[in-house]
Structure 1
Amino acid sequence: MGPLSATDIISDPHGRDHVDDIENRSRRSNLRIVNIPEGSENGKDPVKFIAELLVECVGPDVFTEPPELERAHRSLATKPKDGKPARPFVVRFLRFQQREAALRWSRNHEVKFQGSPLRFYPDLSSALARKRAEYNGVKQALYKKGVRFRLMHPARLVVTFEAQTFTFDSPEEAQEFYKRRVAKE
């Protein structure tokens, strides 16, 4: 058997997983920042704009000086019409640790820019984002019941309930657990 072509890998179901894994690894140093008002960069170099924004909004808790960024740009969607949500910024940090520090800090603090609350997210492939979104229904139900949970990479739900920890590899497993154990409470 000869070497595999890209078409062979993509047509194989496990190959798609492999390609998706490679794509997500290449995005590891990326951060997606949502809610920066459209046009607020005023023609300024996006890398410099985001570096300064991070120092201003996140502050000296994380950045005493502007972080080193490889690149920064708005997502490639078309520019939204007035009144529609702004396109997110995709930012690639030179150092993964700086990206992690900003992401971790933003989870526990409110970040605002020009009166808009900013949200920081890891930059994931669309396939992985869809897999993680499949848990949204059960996550919402768990949240309403006050049950602690977290989503682990790539797409595994970890639930802490009655002093026990449960891990689910599929939304169906998690939903079944919710119906059987949590909904009764």
Structure 2
Amino acid sequence: MAEQGISSATSTTLWEDKSEGMSRDIKNIYVLLQKVAGDIESLKENVQNLESGMRDLGKKLETALMKVDNLENRSRRNNIRIVGFPENVEGNPITFLTKKIPELLGLESGLDLEIECAHHTLAPRPAPGQRPRAFIIRFLKFQTKELILRAARSKGTIRWKGNGIHFFPDLSRDLQSRRQWFAGVHRWLREKGIQYGMFYPAVLKITFNGATTAFSTPEEAEAFLS
């Protein structure tokens, strides 16, 4: 009987030791899980902070790029781009264009355009049969540039020796793309004979029933016209 009592006491002690060990292990696991959970929350917060920082950087970069694009376009304020003249017809570009622009647009004979510089776009010379390079012309006065663009719009179709000649503002690639968004609206307006114009930087103004309305996106214009 004594031996049974000792054996029972020993078993109880072993069970208590195991139970205490298991309790310690469970507590350690619980503490570890709490630490892991805390680390995960900390990582989530860090990721959120990084995402917020990236969004802020993205906005600042977008603002900086818009400012650079605006400065580029302002530096081109007195420029126009002429597309359609064949290659190698001009000799001296300033002399050629000073004579041809008034002739093509029906401007006053002998008008001094005060061209500061004129050159082809900076692209490789095209092979025979390929589209010729455009001319970039810079005028001394902004008013002269505006006069020529108005005359070109008023003239409509312009041809020289069988070639269609087109006059455009000289804009950055980004701003050209933004204006190109309105191409579908422009076609519709021309078909309907509705007066419109594009204004800097990329604002469409439509004159309809005696009232002029400005639109910053083609969707706004389409909603107005629908």
TM-score, length-scaled by structure 1: 0.78
Higher relative contact order (CA 8 A, sep 6+): 1
For the pair 1:114 / 2:180, whether they are aligned, the reply is no
Please name the residue that 1:139 is paired with: 186
Which secondary structure does the structure 2 equivalent of 1:80 belong to? coil
Question: Using a 3 Å threshold, how does the CA distance of structure 1 residues 150 and 102 change in structure 2: closer, same or farther?
Answer: closer
For the pair 1:47 / 2:94, whether they are aligned, the reply is yes
**Whole-Å Cα distance in 1 between the matches of residues 125 and 93 of structure 2?**
16
Query: Residue 88 of structure 2 aligns to which amino acid in structure 1?
Result: G
Question: Using a 3 Å threshold, how does the CA distance of structure 1 residues 63 and 122 change in structure 2: closer, same or farther?
Answer: farther
Residue among 122, 125, 128 paired with 2:175: 128
Query: Residue 173 of structure 2 aligns to which amino acid in structure 1?
Result: S
For the pair 1:35 / 2:84, whether they are aligned, the reply is yes
TM-score, length-scaled by structure 2: 0.65
Structure 1 residues 23-172: aligned runs within 5 Å: 23-41=72-90, 44-58=91-105, 61-109=107-155, 110-172=157-219
Query: Residue 83 of structure 1 aligns to which amino acid in structure 2?
Result: G
Percent sequence identity is: 38
Please name the residue that 2:10 is paired with: none
Which has the larger Rg?
2
Q: Give aligned pairs, total.
A: 168
- Structure 1 regions of 5+ residues with no counterpart? 1-7
**Whole-Å Cα distance in 2 between the matches of residues 75 and 11 of structure 1?**
32
User: Superposition RMSD on alpha carbons, in Å?
Assistant: 2.4
- Structure 2 regions of 5+ residues with no counterpart? 1-56
Structure 1 residue 161: Cα displacement: 3.1
More strand by share: 1
